[in-house]
Structure 1
Amino acid sequence: MTGRTAHWPGEPQDGEDFRTVDPLDSLDADGARTAGGPYSEELRRRLEAAVDAADAPDVVFAVSRHGRRTIHCGGTAPPSPIPRQDLRYELGSASKTFTGLLLALLIRRGLLSGGEPATACLDPARRTDATPVTLAHLITHTSGLPTLPPGFLVRGLPAWRTNPYGRFPAAQVIDAFLRHHPRHRPGTRWRYSNFGVAVLGHAVAAATGTAWEDLLTEHVLRPLALSDTALRARGPDTDAAGHGKDGRTPVPAFDAGGFQAAGAVRATPQDLLTFLEAHLDPSGSPLAGSPLAGALRSVRTPVLRRGLGHRHMHTVAWFRHPTGAGPMYFHGGATLGQQAFLGFRPDTGTALAALCPRRFRAGDPFVATAYALLAEE
């Protein structure tokens, strides 16, 4: 989550046309294959190479295949007193995978429909437009909102290299939304928007009468036993320290300000594998038959087709790209001092969490390496 939109390999650019996916069009075989066995030495070498390629102070590549986990850590900095795999890392925009799952769950439980106008949630007394921005538009990046709200640059400029988001609190995000007039009718164009997902969080909190952090904890973190996942920094004994693009300059812990739903989640590699494994096999988890299991299945369902030939898809939580054997689901994220990549493949039963506390320049290998590792697994 930064001031610019990150584009992953093969991902269409902002503003491209899209089409919605018919529910019958998404019933392709997504089930996990039972083929495969223990991790090979070859995979271990690939993980080591991935860590080395990242060229960051601390790097973690955590992989689960059919429930068997392997975590490889390294980095250019000396090992800290706390093992790298036990630290919590900032997810940035990969936090949106938690947001999408929470919204899907609230819809499953009948607390929301997804069709609620965001304006009506945030200001019930305000007149609703004839074609309003709905919660569904916000989570699918089809609201017509820009990447960041008007006024963000001016307000965040004094802290641009430290914590610009922290200077834009919830009240400012909501006010910017209520004042904004989208250039395109909601539901007609796709444009990645941290602003839109931040508004979604405030609208859902207002509609349910519950703070965003409490909603996420009650409905997602606690049921999945993600005890080392949170929205706030706790300190150096718990959280990985971020670094700038040179890999050496310390960067303060990320303050999401009013953008909690868009990028505030921090988590350990083990918690992230637990989160991803739940997506791989909701019916086989202790949550089988629960609304959360249904939500985990629903966030794998494509809702948009985009790009050349509408080949690439997007769910309410994940980018969905094809591979030779089946689809892969992924999302990346960045703060000013850290980067993350999360993904899973039902066809191979594989989940991957890649984390490092360094903000890369364009073209650095971290995201490309993580993407390739999952795509080729």
Structure 2
Amino acid sequence: MTAAARLTRPVPWPGAPLDFTGVTSKEAPLDDEETRRRLDAAVDAVDAPDVVFALSRHGRRTVRSGGTAPPPPVPRDRLRYEMGSASKTFTGLLLAQLTHTGVLSAGEPAAALLDPARRPGEDPVTLAHLITHTSGLPALPADFFVRALPTWRTNPYARYPAERVVDAFLRHRRRHRPGTRWHYSNFGVAVLGHALTAATATPWDDLITGQVLGPLGLNGATLVPGGPDTDAVGHRRDGTTPVPPLTVGGFQAAGAVRATPYDLLTFLEAHLDPSDRPLTGALRAVRRPVLRRGVGHRHVHTVAWFQHPTERGRMYFHGGATLGQQAFLGFRPDTGTALAAMCTRRFRVRDAFVPTAYALLAEL
């Protein structure tokens, strides 16, 4: 997801009405045996040391796990997994919540929040641009690779701290006007996190926990590595060589979340039915399309999710990968279905993990 593309629809999100609520299906859930069979088949299709597929359908949960490695001392479905870029769905929800409650506007220039003495200038990069990957920023800062090279196979982000992310953004010379092109950017979402901490005068861990993780009851989710009794161990492409836990440096907002399958189902269930929950307005806001791109407007994006059509309605999803783990999150309001999938192997060419998870959610 790093290719640039011209936008075919502008980003009208700041100030837009929160009127997209989706459709709930009246179809009866799959029976328990069929659900387990489908999830077991998905687990078996993924070649990784540890694999978990967690499904919620009309509030009924089924979690299945397996893998090529011997079962760890702690059951696989009780461990925390690295979300990688799927963490951006939490960041998008946080921005929607701060906007909905009037703490800030998504149209605010990021540079002015990070450096109040700076004049915004013409066509500034806004918070909305950063979360929707339309800021014009590259995937990573220009000097990232040089600094990361000594730990490229272990923890490349750890050598790029928060102050360097902010400085790289403030010094960046843009090539395109913000809002005119889409280019997936970890750099941009990381900058967004620092802008939000500056705007609220709250450290990132406290901000995301106090505004999102805590209110939604995600008690097992965290932003820092734990240990062998709490965290799954990632592996390189060979599926046998372990890698150390991810340390994200200044890229917290782009990829720091680690969570259990049950916490992730709770997170997704809140998106399926936002009514009578904490963050109701924000949960509805992040389901609303804000831009379209590509041939035939096929690629639709919300504030936090990719959106694709199915035969019976819209499907929302986001994936993530770290040096040793992968994650897939998705939900479908039309069928009342949510899926969280995780595995402990680095992404490979022709890897079955994402296609398996995507197809399972699309079919259910």
Cα offsets for 1:89-141 (capped at 9, x unmatched): 00000000000000000001100111111110101112222111010100000
For 1:142-291, what aligned pairs fall within 5 Å after superposition? Answer: 142-283=134-275, 285=276, 287=277
2: CA distance, partners of 1:87 / 1:282? 27
2: CA distance, partners of 1:73 / 1:350? 19
Alpha carbons 2:129, 2:179 under 8 Å: kept: yes
Alpha carbons 1:21, 1:302 under 8 Å: kept: no
Query: Cα distance, 1:21 vs. partner?
Result: 6.7
What count of residue pairs does the alignment treat as equivalent? Answer: 362
Alpha carbons 2:21, 2:284 under 8 Å: kept: no
Aligned to 2:4: 14
Aligned to 2:126: 134
Identity %: 69
Three-state SS of the structure 2 residue aligned to 1:50 is helix
Three-state SS of the structure 1 residue aligned to 2:296 is helix
Cα offsets for 1:149-190 (capped at 9, x unmatched): 110000000000000001101011011001101110001100
1: CA distance, partners of 2:251 / 2:12? 31
Which structure 2 residue ranges, 5 or more long, are not aligned? none
2: CA distance, partners of 1:139 / 1:50? 31
Query: Cα distance, 1:228 vs. partner?
Result: 0.3
Three-state SS of the structure 2 residue aligned to 1:344 is strand
2: CA distance, partners of 1:221 / 1:34? 30
Q: Which moved more, 1:270-279 or 1:208-217?
A: 208-217
Q: 4+ runs of 1 displaced by more than 4 Å?
A: 21-29
TM-score (norm. length: structure 1): 0.93
Residue identity in the other structure for 1:330:
F
TM-score (norm. length: structure 2): 0.96
2: CA distance, partners of 1:67 / 1:176? 44
Aligned to 2:322: 335
Query: Cα distance, 1:14 vs. partner?
Result: 2.3
Three-state SS of the structure 2 residue aligned to 1:353 is strand
Residue identity in the other structure for 1:298:
A
For 1:3-152, what aligned pairs fall within 5 Å after superposition? Answer: 5=1, 13-20=3-10, 30-152=22-144
**Residue of 311, 316, 325 corresponding to 2:312:** 325
Residue identity in the other structure for 2:333:
P
Query: In angstroms, what is the RMSD of aligned CA positions?
Result: 1.6
Q: Cα 1:318–1:195, aligned 2, differ >3 Å: closer, same or farther?
A: same
Which structure 1 residue ranges, 5 or more long, are not aligned? 7-12
Aligned to 2:347: 360
Alpha carbons 1:95, 1:263 under 8 Å: kept: yes
1: CA distance, partners of 2:19 / 2:102? 24
